[in-house]
Each structure stands twice: as structure tokens, then as C-alpha cells.
Amino acid sequence: MPTSPRPSKTEAIIRITTLTKTYWNGAVAIPAVQGVDLTVRPGEFIALMGPSGSGKSTLMNLLAFLDAPSSGSYWFAGNNITDFSEDYLADLRNSVLGFVFQQFHLLPRTTALDNVALPLLYTGVKRKQARLRAAELLQKVGLGDRVYHRPNELSGGQQQRVSIARALVNNPMVLFCDEPTGNLDTKTSGDIMKLISQLHHEGKTIIMVTHAEEIADYAERRVQLRDGKIVQS
């Protein structure tokens, strides 16, 4: 299990320089991210925006250690992640990052409590402790009375709250949100974004991919991409 890096309040939590990602279709190169520079400081709430094919999702995957860059440098909490093995990055991802997706990715036959506790069990935390932490977070997201409900017994908004609690269970340094309201109606979307905004005001660093202007309005900073390049930040 890696020792989790922790930056100071003034140190960049993420710093990338001339980062690129190129995919190949046979002999044809497809540049998805082209020479991107970006600095993220602790406590920032950033919205990655751009049209389909702009590179915003690819950039998020690079920032979240879900994909490896083709070139460039990436420093996370003062550590050059290109020095880390894939196994180390997988452990690090589970211990210092949290993820909220458009699809909720909950285990269908498992209670909300155990869905939230699961990441802790992977890190070796005892089941009783993991469930206590999960119950605390479900209370925080407004589901204290739904801990033993399974996903099919919950609304879409409630399922997303479970996924947010699960993303927070390891007290991540960065919360990545990929179109977190994409499957929700307007009212429920607003409720979820108020919750995410509350987490930001509590000091959580958040990087969110969205195409919706009204959702991006919750962020304090927009990073606009087009053709794999940042055109506004």
C-alpha cells in the first residue's frame, strides 16, 4: 500500500506540462490531448468543458491515473507519477482519488452501506470499521435512513448520493466527477450539484467533466478544451 502524498495548502496538487495522449488506428495517429499545461491547487473546483471529441474525458483519465500520457510530465502532490509502476498507481488511485460517474456503478445485490464500504475493504480495513465509516458518509449525503436499501430500491438521485459517499470513503485528495448529473432530471441534478458544491466549500478538490453550462456554473474555474488543447482556463 503506497504512502499517500499530501501537498501543502499552497503547493499544487496537480501540475502537468506539455502533456499529450495519442491513440493509433493502424498507422494513423489520433491526437486526443496535445501539449496541455494545467495546474490545480488544493481546494479548487474545476469544470473541464468542451464539445464531443475535444479531449476533456481523455484529460480527466490522464489526471486520474486511468490512462498513461504519451509524453509530457505529470506531478501529483510533488511526485512525478511517471516514476511509479502501474501497480503502484492503481493502489494510489484507490487511496487518494474518488470517482463519481454518470453511470452509478453500484453493485445491484448489495446494500448502500456495503457499496460504500467496499473500497475500504480493498485497502484492508476491517469490515466493522468500514461499515461505520460508510454509515457516517451515507448520513452526510442525506441517506441515513436508506443504508440497507439496494440500488433497485433507490431513486436515481439517491443512487448518485450513494456513489458520492463511496467516492468519499477513503477521504480522497481529489474527487473526479464525470458528467455526474447526466442521468438525472433537472431538480435532482440541482440537488446533487448542491451536495458536490458543499464538498468543495468544505475544502475538497474537485475536477468535473461536463458539457452543461448550468452545471459548470457551480465550479469556480472553467477549463475549456477544443481539439485536444486548452483554449481557456
Q: What is the mean pLDDT of residues 214-224?
A: 96
- Express each pLDDT in 22-31 by its tens digit: 999 999 999 9
Classify domain 14-232 by CATH number.
3.40.50.300
- Express each pLDDT in 168-217 by its tens digit: 999 999 999 999 999 899 999 999 999 999 999 999 999 999 999 999 99
- Minimum mean pLDDT range among 6-10, 67-71, 97-101: 6-10
**CB atoms inside a 10 Å sphere around CB 224:** 17
Q: What is the mean pLDDT of residues 101-106?
A: 93
Q: What integer pLDDT is reported at residue 8 of this predicted model?
A: 55
The mean predicted confidence, pLDDT, of the chain is: 93
21: closest CA among 47, 51, 60?
A: 60
- Kindly tell me if the per-residue pLDDT of 4 is higher than 90: no
Q: What integer pLDDT is reported at residue 233 of this predicted model?
A: 85
Q: CA-CA distance, 125 to 135, in Å (whole number)? A: 15
DSSP code for 70:
S
Q: What are the extents of the domains in the chain?
A: 14-232
Q: What is the mean pLDDT of residues 81-100?
A: 90
Q: CA-CA distance, 142 to 192, in Å (whole number)? A: 11
Q: What integer pLDDT is reported at residue 13 of this predicted model?
A: 96
- Express each pLDDT in 116-147 by its tens digit: 999 999 888 999 999 999 999 999 999 999 99
Q: What integer pLDDT is reported at residue 10 of this predicted model?
A: 58
65: closest CA among 109, 19, 34?
A: 19
Helices vs. strands in the chain: H and E counts, helices first: 7, 10
- Kindly tell me if the per-residue pLDDT of 2 is higher than 50: no
Percentage of residues in the chain with pLDDT exceeding 70?
96
DSSP code for 155:
-
Q: What integer pLDDT is reported at residue 1 of this predicted model?
A: 38
Q: What integer pLDDT is reported at residue 7 of this predicted model?
A: 56
Terminus-to-terminus CA distance in the chain, angstroms? 35
